[in-house]
């Protein structure tokens, strides 16, 4: 599952995108104006942005550049009625990672979405193993999911790489700044609060499935660590009162 932002003044087309993406198990943030799109980016993690550049009263490509400045790494797809070759080339050369023309083919559109999400999942430092395991957590980078006690848990690209960074440093405390740099790269423009929000999302997904860990632990005033997995504590049986009394009697 990914979080996708769509900007288009055509509400009917937004409705179509929303239907297709929700059927594909993604979360969609919809807006009809650039200010709304930038507001979403300031307040929410987004894994993919879809823009129709024909925005009345606005330069659509300038809006795309603003989005790029806000988050240089987020994949950006243009979905537009402008189908001339020169317009497609301009979009791909200047701001977009992909360009799909209207009317869209649902299967083709979703295939392009999947391709962009896979590409964004390729980490800048990734000579990483495809599968990483720590305690009960198995992280599958290709399938973009954690597997805990045989249950698959889908992750967004940013959740995936943040959890990967923690799992690669079990027992080591990392500051928020270190986590941002190691997980999301030097170009990430968000603040330290972004780490807190993403940690909350990861915990909500994985903690209900864990029996003995490892658990993500906060270190107050500094950052986070993935604790060393530990076996659950088995309560020791309490001796009966009569047994205790007998043990106190002189031999």
Span 93-146, pLDDT tens digits:
888 999 999 999 999 999 999 888 877 665 544 445 578 999 999 998 878 889
C-beta atoms surrounding 219 within 10 Å: 11
128 vs 62, which has greater pLDDT? 62
Whether pTM exceeds 0.85? no
Q: Is the pLDDT of residue 85 over 90?
A: no
CATH assignment of 131-226?
Answer: 1.10.10.10
Dihedral in degrees, nearest 10, Cα atoms 7, 13, 17, 20: 180
8 in Cβ contact with 14 (< 8 Å): yes
Q: Where are the domains of the chain?
A: 3-120, 131-226
- On whether the 3-120 domain is CATH 3.40.50.2300, my answer is yes
Q: Find the mean pLDDT for residues 32-39.
A: 92
What strands, in cross-sheet order, belong to the sheet with 3-7? 27-31, 3-7, 48-51, 76-80, 98-101
Q: Could you tell me where the DSSP H helices lie in the chain?
A: 11-23, 34-43, 60-70, 85-94, 106-120, 157-167, 176-184, 193-206, 241-248
Query: Strands across the sheet with 145-148, in order?
Result: 131-134, 137-140, 145-148, 151-154
pLDDT band at 2 (very low <50, low <70, confident <90, very high): confident
In tens, the pLDDT along 165-188 reads 999 888 889 999 889 888 887 667
Nearest-CA neighbor of 62 among 75, 73, 51?
Answer: 51
Residue-level pLDDT at 127: 45
234 vs 2, higher pLDDT:
2
Residue with tokens 């009162």: 241
pLDDT the model gives residue 42: 82
């Amino acid at each position: 599952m990914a979080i996708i932002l769509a900007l288009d003044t055509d509400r009917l087309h937004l409705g179509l995108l929303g239907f297709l993406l929700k059927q594909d198990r993604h979360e969609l943030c919809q807006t009809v104006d650039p200010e709304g799109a930038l507001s979403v980016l300031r307040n929410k993690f987004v894994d993919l942005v879809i823009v129709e550049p024909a925005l009345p009263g606005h330069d659509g490509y300038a809006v795309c550049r603003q989005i790029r400045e806000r988050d240089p790494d987020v994949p950006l797809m243009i979905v537009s009625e402008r189908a001339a070759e020169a317009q497609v080339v301009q979009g791909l050369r200047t701001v977009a990672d992909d360009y799909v023309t209207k009317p869209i083919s649902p299967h083709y559109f979703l295939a392009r979405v999947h391709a962009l999400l896979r590409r964004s999942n390729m980490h800048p430092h990734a000579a990483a193993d495809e599968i990483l395991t720590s305690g009960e957590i198995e992280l599958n980078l290709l399938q973009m999911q954690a597997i805990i006690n045989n249950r698959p848990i889908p992750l967004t690209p940013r959740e995936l790489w943040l959890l990967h960074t923690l799992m690669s440093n079990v027992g080591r405390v990392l500051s928020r700044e270190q986590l941002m740099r190691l997980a999301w790269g030097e170009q990430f423009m968000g603040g330290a609060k972004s780490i807190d929000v993403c940690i909350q999302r990861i915990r909500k997904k994985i903690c209900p499935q864990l029996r003995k860990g490892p658990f993500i632990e906060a270190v107050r005033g500094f950052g986070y660590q993935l604790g060393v997995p530990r076996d659950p504590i088995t309560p020791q049986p309490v001796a009966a009162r009569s047994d205790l009394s007998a043990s106190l009697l002189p031999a």
